[in-house]
Amino acid sequence: MPQKTSETPMMQQYQAIKDQYPDAFLFYRIGDFYELFYDDAIKGAQLLELTLTARNKNADDPIPMAGVPHHAAASYIDILVDQGYKVAICEQVEDPKLAVGMVKREVVQLVTPGTTMDIKAGAAKSNNYLAAVLALPSGYAFAYTDLTTGELKVTTLPSRFAVQNELAALSSKEIVIDPALSEDDQAAFKQGDRLLSVQPDTGAQAEASYVAQDLADADQVAVVERLMQYLLITQKRGLAHIQKAVAYQPSAFLEMDQDARANLDILSNSRTGKKADTLLWLLDETKTAMGGRLLKQWLERPLIDMVAINRRQQQVQALLDHFFERSELQERLTKVYDLERLAGRVAFGTVNGRDLIQLQTSLDQIPAVQDILLRFEDDSLTSLEKAIDPVSDIANLIRRAIEPEAPISVTEGNLILRGYNEKLDNYRDVMANSKQWLAELEASEREATGIHNLKIRYNKVFGYYIEVTKGQLANVPEGRYERKQTLTNAERFITPELKEKETLILEAEESATTLEYTLFQEIREQVKAQIERLQKLAAQIATLDVLQSFAVVAENQHYVRPVMHAGTHALDIKNGRHPVVEKVLGEQQYIPNDVVMDDNVDMLLITGPNMSGKSTYMRQLALIVVMAQIGSFVPADQADLPVFDQIFTRIGAADDLASGQSTFMVEMLEANAALSHATASSLILFDEIGRGTATYDGMALAQAIIEYLHDHVHAKTLFSTHYHELTGLETTLDKLQNVHVGAVEEHGNLVFLHKMLAGPADKSYGIHVAKLAGLPDDLLTRADSILSDLEGDQDVTTPHVAAVQVEETQPEDSQVEEETGQLDLFEPEPVQQNKSNPVLKKLSQFDLLTATPMDAMNLIYHLQKQLKK
């Protein structure tokens, strides 16, 4: 009975390896192909658009099979990893000629979304972060790394929400988790295509102990070790480029949650999801990939340290003041390749000759960069120059050793320069002399035989041979020529002399190729030993690149250096502009606005028509704050700013359909985040709070939020609203100020001034905005008629929101007429005596001191519903 396909030694080997990686596609090397079998083949053929075939089609149990050429495998692996899958690469790990039985195979690397080393050209300025989370009795230990650059950071976070926020900020595609992590946590952390990879504790590892040696917190050490265990298990090699873990606290930077980043379009456009029309897009004039990544990191974590902010701004000022030196610096930076990722490839063992030439080219620019920095004669830049190590010894090593036009392959020779190794030069001399000997042999054989088209050729199968066409076979001397191969139009021969020389030539070629690869590995190890120096240099060059980018943007966009102050939260911005809108519209078309809030003003209540620029005005302030606190200059004529610790936003309507939350619920959750966590040093932007529910509910909640912020939080707040009744709060809240966006009517048409003016808006202009949107004239005429009727009845039928306008208490013996015009049949009982009123009873029992802002808003909501009944 024939053996079943699944029982063959090869398929048994395949299944044994596949069982170790059940959650990954197994790329199983057979000759020049990587093969997929069973479900991997069926699913892989679908995802990669491969032809699905079968192994032993005529057998009783044909096995589904699909394959990709080994030289093209990287692109197929990228496709799978980009879609959130893991790929186990299984190679032959012994020479088939020496194998006894089945060729031994092993998985040499597990490629996952968080560990891919092949970065696409368009992603050169982006990090690829792998995160790790460990649940603690209170909070979470959290670490992240970029395998391509070696960056490693760790912190302790207080809540699940804080972990979600960090993951969103890092755009992490994969998280390493403990098997004991709760299902609720797993569901919260797995957003979109993010992959959760379970990693049990496998015990101490030398590499993990090394990178965690500077950490004092045991929980942080534990999460770093878990992350390193996963990397070592998946990558199956040393990770010398992973830097020592650096502990950080999110509160040591200006904090923004994922909603704030999205609302402000800092890193990606909230509408398109792309970089265009974002603050990153505006500020990115970096010349290196390292600088581009660092700029993103600075935008994710603006500073709150006044000294550090002022130092960056002084460096930008120096670069701005020296145009010619800055231009020379930019020219040098354009020739610097990605030092961080080149160092990573060296450590990973995937660096080739061309990579090393790129490294040398980059290092060759550093002495000139240092010289340029000294010419600025500025202490802030001189200190940067002193910190730079040019790593010139590595540049000199590569210059002496590696061919400038090195091939991509590192195993086929032509890598090492002549003069670097005497033994290699001798092999090359043998090969060069052999070529001359072959040319002389060909000439002498032609003369001896009279065969003028006789040729000496070589191929990998038959080696060297003499080729004679059919028409000249009669002239071939007998006895000395030994027939090697017969072709259609020629015969191939070998002679004793040629056979002997062939052995010498092939031995020299093989020895030279082997020696070249050995020498290349030695050079790679010498470079690897200096990875830490290369990474420090990369950090300095990246910093310099971002600073020059700020200077270029400041010069092109006419930005000013902001004055940062401590001890007061007053801010004063003269003719501020929204940086991105201005860049898109053009400087001449953008109308600037002041933002002035002294110590006596905590809140600006903004009214005005839709489309007039209220949201732009609010975002403008937040972006100016972010720019100032990353060290950039800002779009204004003058800016005097405090250092903010957090920014909270609630701008725009957005349902969270994935979790079944309405616009109003999302609105309340975002509002609660600010009410619960903001301090007097925070900045809050609330746009149209309360519009997601019924008018009076929304108005009541908006007023309650305003009062709570004013009385308890004291953060600088911009609050825009269409509830014009709320403008009366200026008379009762001493730190609230009304402002509005100007608009005028001309010949029945609305003209936006886009200018912020003192006081409240006189009307909302909603129908005028509808006209601008192109609604039919008949509809607009009808709407205007309905509005007139409603406004005519407003005094009779529209109730006022409690506490917006407090009327004087009437004398007890006076008759009070209700808004309906009817007299009360019974005199109202004084409030203090009406203890049976269930609304008042609930209100008197409510413990305001222990309640959260959301508790208060919920109470108001339910009380209002009860009153309406």
Q: Among 369-378, 566-575, 761-770, which is the least confidently predicted range?
A: 761-770
Q: Crossing angle, helix 531-557 and helix 323-333, to 10 degrees?
A: 140
Tell me the C-alpha distance between 767 and 750, whole Å.
10
Task: State yes or no: pLDDT of 812 exceeds 50.
Answer: no
pLDDT over 70 at 614, yes or no: yes
Query: How far apart are alpha carbons 674 and 713 in whole angstroms?
Result: 9
| Interaxial angle between packed helices 496-528 and 353-375, expressed in degrees from 0 to 180 and rounded to the nearest 10 | 40
Region 796-813: mean pLDDT is 40
Give Cα 427 to chain centroid, integer Å. 50
Say if residue 613 carries a ligand binding annotation: yes
φ and ψ of 492, to 5 deg: -115, 140
pLDDT tens string 182-232: 999 999 998 878 999 999 998 888 888 999 999 999 999 999 999 999 999
What is the pLDDT, as a whole number, of residue 835?
A: 54
Spatial separation of the C-alpha atoms in residues 106 and 94, rounded to whole Å: 10
Is 612 annotated in a binding site? The answer is yes
Is 615 annotated as contributing to ligand binding? Answer: yes
Residue 668 labelled as part of a binding site:
no
**Most distant CA pair in the chain, distance:** 144
Spatial CB neighbours of 273, under 8 Å, sequence gap ≥ 6? none
Per-residue pLDDT at 799:
38
Query: Would you place residue 808 in the very low, low, confident or very high pLDDT band (cuts 50, 70, 90)?
Result: very low
For residue 838, pLDDT over 60 is answered with yes
* Residue 210 CB neighbour total at 10 angstroms: 15
Question: Is 842 one of the annotated binding-site residues?
Answer: no
Report residue 317 as tokens.
């000022």
DSSP 335-375: T---HHHHHHHHHHT---HHHHHHHHHHHHHHHHHHHHHHH
**Low-confidence winner among 309-318, 350-359, 479-488 (lowest mean pLDDT):** 479-488
The whole-model pTM stands at 0.82
Lookup: tokens for 497:
């002399």
Mean pLDDT of 56-74: 86
Q: Which of 338-352, 519-533, 551-565, 584-598 has the lowest mean pLDDT?
A: 584-598
Average pLDDT over residues 40-51: 94
Q: How confident is the model at residue 820 (pLDDT cuts 50, 70, 90)?
A: very low
What is the distance between the alpha carbons of residues 118 and 108, in angstroms, rounded to a whole number?
A: 16
Instruction: Give me the phi and psi of 708, to 5 degrees please.
Output: -65, -45
**Residue count (the chain):** 869
CB count within 10 Å of CB 93 equals: 12
Least confident window among 217-226, 476-485, 548-557: 476-485
Q: Inform me whether the pLDDT recorded for 623 exceeds 50.
A: yes
**Cα–Cα separations (whole angstroms), residue 829 to 95, 811, 832, 834:** 100, 13, 8, 6
| Sheet strands side by side (includes 563-565) | 563-565, 638-642, 571-576, 593-597
Judge contact between 221 and 237, C-beta under 8 A: no
- CB-count exposure of residue 572 (10 Å: 0-12, 13-18, 19+): middle
57-71, 173-187, 208-222, 250-264 — which is least confidently predicted? 57-71
Please state, in angstroms and rounded to a whole number, the distance separating the CA atoms of residues 260 and 278. Answer: 13
Residue 590 has pLDDT above 50, yes or no: yes
Among all chains, which residue has been given the structure tokens 């890092």?
Answer: 170
Domains and CATH numbers, the chain: 5-111 (3.40.1170.10), 123-252 (3.30.420.110), 284-379+530-557 (1.10.1420.10), 422-524 (1.10.1420.10), 563-763 (3.40.50.300), 831-868 (no CATH)
Query: Is 567 annotated in some ligand binding site?
Result: no
359 token code pair: 């490294």
H helices of 180-305, where? 183-189, 206-211, 218-235, 258-263, 279-283, 289-300
Task: Point out which residues pair with 751 in neighbouring strands.
Answer: 744
Ranges 41-55, 163-177, 527-541, 607-621: which has the least confidence? 607-621
Measured between alpha carbons, how far is 124 from 341 in angstroms, rounded to an integer?
Answer: 9
Q: Is 362 annotated for ligand binding?
A: no
**CA nearest neighbour of 547 among 713, 376, 788:** 376
Burial of 833 (0-12, 13-18, 19+ CB in 10 A): exposed
Q: Are strands 603-607 and 716-720 parallel, antiparallel or unpaired?
A: parallel
Residue 716, pLDDT above cutoff 60: yes
pLDDT tens per residue across span 335-344? 999 999 999 9
User: What kind and span of H or E run contains 409?
Assistant: none
Residue 427: pLDDT over 90: no
With a CB cutoff of 8 Å and minimum separation 6, the contacts of 64 are 37, 38, 39, 41, 42, 52, 53, 54
Give me the pLDDT at residue 102, please. Answer: 85
Strand 463-469 relative to strand 490-494: parallel, antiparallel, unpaired? antiparallel
Is 610 annotated as a binding-site member?
yes
Residues 6+ apart with CB under 8 A from 142: 131, 132, 133, 134, 154, 155, 156, 157, 163, 166, 223
- Grouping H, G, I as helix, E, B as strand and the rest as coil, residue 527 is helix
Question: Around 688, how many Cα atoms within 13 Å sit in the side-chain half-sphere?
Answer: 16
List 198's β-bridge partners, or say none: 177
pLDDT tens digit string along 501-541? Answer: 887 888 888 888 999 999 999 999 999 999 999 999 999 99
Q: Angle between the 695-708 and 853-868 helix axes, to the nearest 10 degrees?
A: 150
| Residue 751: predicted pLDDT | 66
Spatial separation of the C-alpha atoms in residues 422 and 163, rounded to whole Å: 58
Paired residues of 464 in beta bridges: 458
